[in-house]
Chains A and B, each alone.
Chain A
């Protein structure tokens, strides 16, 4: 094994050299030089576990489940990193964080540089360290994953992110802001895509104004992901840094209602617009009984609890129906979040109803594991057929047993009904977590932005839409995806916007010269 530890090498060129020339990224003065490769002998210890709140305590509490690494734990885990000459993990990251260097910072005891390296690429490391599916991204690409457990990159990211947030605002790492260009960009939506775009625009010297329709910024990070996975003060603190960098956040403005995209450009003087309004509309089952009281979309249930803090009713004014027996329909992370939230609101039994098997569930393994550990009962190969009720309220969910057939277009084995297999799950609450569709509120008011047949915005690889100066990214382009994918789209679009503004400026200057001649 010792052979695998390569001899120290001179620092490689900075990240500015990673093929972004010509995109304006060369103006990103703050991109720090990578930490010199530490002279360390990689530890052969097993992956350092993350401490968790005790399952009996946490299943009834909204306090965070994962407790994070201590300094010693972070160091022990960082020491497992081989500091490869050719770090493949970086390619596994949708925003290409220089993982090798930030882990190097921890190894060398230079966490400040580690944080700077991290924040050069990711404005929300404490959030991403918690909610990114690292096991499919950077950690899947880790060399150690070939023979055993990869380095816990996500946990180390969270460690550095938290370390930074523990400082006063003035001492936190603030990526350097580029010289003001005088250009103004409107960002629609303050979720991961919008925030990442705004942060990147600020680094490039553009004035970014983020419009949020809700009363608080963060998008899915605050209305969707529960407190016990991602504390809301973490999100607020990371946004605080963006505001310090000059990003303006305007809440209570619905683009498509309060202002249209055209008005932002024609009347309010924005030079470009980035649309990151998310995939808003909840999908329902379309089965009888779905409008009984006690049937929630996961969006509504989680918004009431997370954004409106209904778990703290009546101190907070928003109520939520606290079911005793809850059936959650779906198999993704949102279904897990809903089930675990229902438990924490006091449910005696929570069933997770999914039409395939655990193997096909799109949820992260960690979420499935936590849900099961906390007492969520999995009812696999069950497809809801009808919601039954009495006096306006849910009393049960009728489901059909399924079996798996041949793989379908998505590569997953298609579930098929078993004849005459209907059975009833007694429950007083049903939460439907089947995903979302495009929300037409904004796009209806922007007829010149081309949409797909399903209502999503058609955008090129850099986020450009059919309307000049208007870019889009995140779920409103791709449909439901991950936080970090949306952030990647936001950053890419910011650089494309920068280039577009630059080209337009050059064209205008050339035009002036032409006219003068």
Chain B
């Protein structure tokens, strides 16, 4: 059992959980993920680290409440326990020697972008962060990003409630066009990463994407997370989660992410009505 030491609600459906896991915290690096199971009946889901402290022995992740598992997870408060937390899994993001790099974080992807941008700053890269959210209320970790020694922080919202009223690809394209980028990193919904990669491809700016396919074990055993990268089939868990954005088959990824959408919706609806009954 793994103790939850703190939780924070970042918006109506976005939550942050901090778990005591000293062995994992001691090894965690930017871009890596953990696999957790909320309880004995739970499924195994991967979540990328948003932060960790090896000194204090905790790891942190941010998630959006969408299905049954994330619903259950959002109900585990400080002092509660998660049945299982395992990691760190996947390869760390390559941060050394990237030069002028743009890190794009969309939606909850900003949570993953934060330690990545921080590690790039520590590695001496010249880092511009582009954050995208639907509106001001859904923008996350702005203060944390502002505390980093970034070259620039560009905020985009769909409705213009804060920052630019633009998609993240607009400032990304401007940087590319100005010849101001040596590398780009996109972390967020598959559709956003697809368009970021399409944007940088035009300018031949090497682009890394951090994928979030469905996983079970997270150690290479099942192959649920396979993604087509160029002519190869690779495993998200052990070969990734970072891949060359210009080679990833995003259509296939998005299709594979939806494989259980129908049944999971049913399960989530069941669970919510059950919760509603209990609270009455």
Cβ-based interface call for A258 (8 A):
yes
- Taking the closest CB of chain B, its distance from the CB of A264, in whole angstroms, is 12
- Docked Cα-Cα span, A284 to B44, in Å, equals 23
Q: Are B84 and A251 in contact (CB under 8 A)?
A: yes
* A439–B263 CA distance with the chains assembled, in angstroms: 31
Find B89's partner among A254, A280, A440 (CB 8 Å cutoff).
A254
Pick the contact of A293 from B37, B223, B235, B256 — CB < 8 Å? B256
Chain B residues within 8 Å of A440, by CB: 220, 238
Using C-beta atoms within 8 Å of the partner chain, give the interface range for chain B. 35 or more
B228 in contact with A303 (CB, 8 Å): no
A257 touches B89 (CB 8 A): yes
Do residues A213 and B86 form an inter-chain contact, with CB atoms below 8 A? yes
Interface mask (A303-336 → B, CB under 8 Å = 1, otherwise 0) = 1100010000111111101000000000000000
User: Which chain B positions have C-beta within 8 A of A252?
Assistant: 84-86
Chain A residues 277 to 294 lying within 8 A of chain B, measured CB to CB, are 280-282, 284, 290-291, 293-294
Q: Which residue of B lies closest to A280 (CB)?
A: B221
Beta-carbon contact of B222 and A297 below 8 Å: yes
CB distance from A471 to the nearest CB of B (A): 21
When C-beta atoms are compared, the residue in chain B nearest to A286 turns out to be: B233
Q: Closest Cβ of chain B: how far from A248's Cβ, in Å?
A: 15
**Are B43 and A308 closer than 8 Å at their CB atoms?**
yes
Please tell me if A502 contacts chain B, counting CB pairs below 8 Å. no
Indicate whether B27 reaches chain A with its CB closer than 8 angstroms: yes
List of B residues within 8 angstroms of A296 by Cβ: 223
Provide the A194-222 mask, 1 if CB < 8 A to any CB of B, else 0. Answer: 00000000000000000001110000000
A319 pairs with B267, CB closer than 8 A: yes
Indicate if the CB atoms of A300 and B216 lie closer than 8 Å: yes
A392 to B83, CA, bound (A): 34
| B99 within 8 Å of A (CB atoms) | no
Chain A residues whose C-beta falls within 8 Å of the C-beta of B219 in the assembled complex: 213, 254, 257, 280, 439, 441
Q: Which residues of A contact B109 (CB under 8 A)?
A: none
* B252 touches which of A251, A257, A291, A319 (Cβ 8 Å): A291
CB within 8 Å for A291 and B226 given contacts A253-B23, A300-B216, A439-B221: yes
Are B222 and A258 interface neighbours, CB within 8 A? no
B65 to chain A, nearest CB (A): 14
Chain A: minimal CB distance from B66 (Å): 13
Q: Which residues of A contact B220 (CB under 8 A)?
A: 280-281, 439-441
1/0 per residue, CB under 8 A from A, across B244-264: the answer is 000000001001101110011
B266 within 8 A of A: yes
B224 interface residue, CB < 8 Å from A? yes
Please tell me if the beta carbons of B41 and A317 are within 8 angstroms of each other in the complex: yes
Chain A interface size range = 35 or more
Helix, strand, loop or mixed for chain B's interface?
mixed
Of A252, A259, A308, A439, chain B has the most CB atoms within 10 Å of the CB of: A252
Whether A300 and B43, one on each chain, are in contact in the complex, defined by CB atoms closer than 8 angstroms, is: no
CB <8 Å contact, A321 and B23? no
State the Cβ distance, A295 to closest chain B Cβ, in Å.
9
Contact (Cβ within 8 A) B222 A318: no
Query: For residue A309, which residue of chain B has the nearest CB?
Result: B41
Answer yes or no: B24 CB below 8 A from chain A CBs: yes
List B contacts of A392 (CB < 8 A): 252, 255-256, 258
Q: Does B69 contact A (CB under 8 A)?
A: yes
- A252-B84, A254-B89 in contact; A317/B68 too (CB < 8 A)? yes
Knowing A258-B24, A316-B41, A317-B68 are in contact, say whether A253-B270 is a contact too (CB < 8 A).
no
B-chain residues with CB within 8 Å of residue A303 when the two chains form the complex: 216-217, 221-222
**Residue B241 is within 8 A (CB to CB) of chain A in the complex:** no
Interface residues of A in 213-257 (CB under 8 A from B): 213-215, 223, 251-254, 257
Chain A residues within 8 Å of B88, by CB: 257-258
By the criterion CB–CB under 8 Å, are B266 and A314 in contact? Answer: yes
Cβ contact within 8 Å between A253 and B255:
no
A residues near B24, Cβ cutoff 8 Å: 258
Task: Kindly state whether residue A83 has any CB partner on chain B within 8 Å.
Answer: no
B206 an interface residue at 8 Å Cβ cutoff? Answer: no
Known: A258-B24, A392-B255. A317 touches B216 (CB 8 A): no
Which of chain B's residues 184-198 have a Cβ closer than 8 Å to chain A? none
* B42 to A: closest C-beta gap in Å: 5
Q: How far is the CA of A371 from the CA of B89 in the complex (A)?
A: 37
Residues of chain B within 8 A (CB-CB) of A318 are 43-44, 216
Q: Tell me, in angstroms, the Cα distance from A280 to B221 when the chains sit together.
A: 5
Verify if A395 is at the interface (C-beta below 8 Å from B).
Answer: no
For residue B46, CB closer than 8 A to chain A, the reply is: no
Most chain B CB neighbours (cut-off 10 Å) among A253, A257, A280 = A257
- Which one, B23, B72, B235, B270, contacts A314 given CB within 8 A? B270
Chain A's nearest CB lies how many Å from the CB of B69?
Answer: 6
Residues B23 and A258 in contact, CB atoms below 8 Å apart: yes
Chain B residues with CB under 8 Å of A316's CB are 41, 43
User: With A257-B27, A257-B88 in contact, do A299 and B233 touch (Cβ < 8 Å)?
Assistant: no
B28-47 CB contact bits vs A (8 Å, 1 = yes)?
Answer: 00000000010001111000
Please determine whether B83 and A293 come into contact, CB atoms closer than 8 angstroms. no
18 other A-B residue contacts (CB within 8 Å) besides A252-B85, A284-B226: A215-B83, A215-B86, A223-B221, A257-B89, A258-B24, A280-B219, A282-B221, A282-B222, A291-B227, A294-B259, A296-B223, A297-B222, A297-B223, A313-B267, A316-B41, A317-B69, A319-B267, A441-B219
A-B contact pairs, 14 of them (CB 8 A): A257-B87, A281-B221, A291-B228, A291-B256, A293-B259, A297-B222, A314-B68, A314-B266, A317-B72, A318-B44, A321-B259, A439-B219, A440-B220, A441-B238
User: What 10 A-B pairs come out closest when comparing CB atoms?
Assistant: A392-B255, A300-B222, A314-B267, A318-B43, A317-B43, A297-B223, A215-B84, A252-B86, A293-B259, A319-B260
Which residues does A use to contact B, with CB under 8 Å? Answer: 213-215, 223, 251-254, 257-259, 280-282, 284, 290-291, 293-294, 296-297, 299-300, 303-304, 308, 313-319, 321, 392, 439-441
